[in-house]
Amino acid sequence: MAAIPFTDREMQRAWRINLQASNQTSRTNAHRLLLFYAIECGLKAILMKRQSVNCSSDCREIGEAQHNINKLLDALSAGKSLKLPSQFHIDPINIKGLKQERKIDPGTINQMWRYGGTMVDKNLTDQDLETHLTKISDWIQKELDHS
């Protein structure tokens, strides 16, 4: 199924609304998921702005990146400091009595939080990932205000 096209204004509004909803004081995966989607929408809005297009279907990089925050950051030449780790682990699962490790990447974070997974990396927690996404959000705000 092809991606549904959205306008640049819709993308910016989605960034603002999701960011606002994610900023509740009692943090859950649902709040983090909204933050993730806010970041995705904000990065896509910047791409559209920089390419002077007003429809997401006119921006090739959006289709290629899909939900991958790092690919969107790369398309924007945002720098290494904003990029997320390329791979990390979430809580393992037992299937038919066998424990299976699960690895995710910056394009599947939304699935982890959507389905209730949690980070189990030694050096990265859900809160750390949330803090990093907030840093990206601050950068997005500056970029969008720069117009």
> For residue 103, which amino acid is it?
K
pTM of the predicted structure, to 2 decimals:
0.88
Residue 65 forms part of a structural domain: yes
Q: What is the pLDDT of residues 17-76, one digit of tens each?
A: 988 888 876 788 889 999 999 999 999 999 999 999 999 999 999 999 999 999 999 999
pLDDT at residue 141 greater than cutoff 90? yes
Contact between 22 and 34 under an 8 Å Cβ cutoff? The reply is yes
Q: What is the pLDDT of residues 90-108, one digit of tens each?
A: 888 888 888 888 898 999 9
> What is the number of structural domains in the chain?
1
Residue 49 forms part of a structural domain: yes
pLDDT band at 118 (very low <50, low <70, confident <90, very high): confident
Residue 3 forms part of a structural domain: no
Confidence (pLDDT) at 2: 63
pLDDT at residue 147 greater than cutoff 80? no
Boundaries of domain holding 28:
8-83+125-145
Residue 34 forms part of a structural domain: yes
Residue 77 forms part of a structural domain: yes
Residue 91 forms part of a structural domain: no
Residue 66 forms part of a structural domain: yes
Which residues neighbour 144 within 8 Å (Cβ) at sequence distance 6 or greater? 12, 15, 42, 45, 46, 49
Residue 32 forms part of a structural domain: yes
Mean pLDDT to the nearest integer, 8-20: 90
- Give CA–CA dist 122/21, Å, rounded: 29
